[in-house]
């Protein structure tokens, strides 16, 4: 199946070690909007580095359900599974992490 790229209206890149996450807002021909979330992972290959990408599409009718589910999963890990971990230790400067920590709130 051939994937047709649509107009990109917004893009946010989050660097996280060997992984980079991309949040891209795109439009359809009928002026509808959706988000693609891409994980790009760098790995060692014989002749240097290669990248493995995974992409998912998030449609407007699922935005709230997706955010609710993500928030619930993150809260479960933070408060039930790892309550003694200080997650602020993983925060980096905005320049270093692309501003991810400043835009989204997990608590």
Which of 88, 89, 99 minimizes the C-alpha distance to 14? Answer: 99
**pLDDT tens-place string over residues 42-84:** 888 888 888 999 999 999 999 999 999 999 999 999 999 999 9
Candidate ranges 15-19, 33-37, 40-44, 98-102; pick with highest mean pLDDT: 33-37
User: If you ran DSSP here, which 8-state letter would residue 3 be given?
Assistant: P
Report the topology of domain 8-103.
Answer: Nuclear Transport Factor 2; Chain: A, (3.10.450)
Name 102's Cβ contacts closer than 8 Å, sequence gap at least 6: 94
pLDDT at 73: 98
């Amino acid at each position: 199946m051939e994937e047709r790229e649509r107009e990109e209206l917004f893009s946010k890149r989050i660097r996280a070690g060997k992984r980079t996450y991309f949040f891209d807002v795109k439009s359809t021909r009928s002026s509808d909007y959706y988000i693609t979330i891409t994980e790009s992972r760098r790995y060692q290959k014989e002749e240097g580095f290669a990248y493995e990408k995974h992409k998912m599409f998030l449609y407007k009718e699922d935005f709230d359900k997706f955010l609710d589910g993500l928030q619930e999963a993150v809260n479960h890990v933070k408060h039930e599974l790892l309550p003694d971990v200080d997650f602020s230790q993983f925060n980096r400067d905005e320049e270093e992490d692309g501003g991810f920590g400043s835009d989204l709130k997990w608590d």
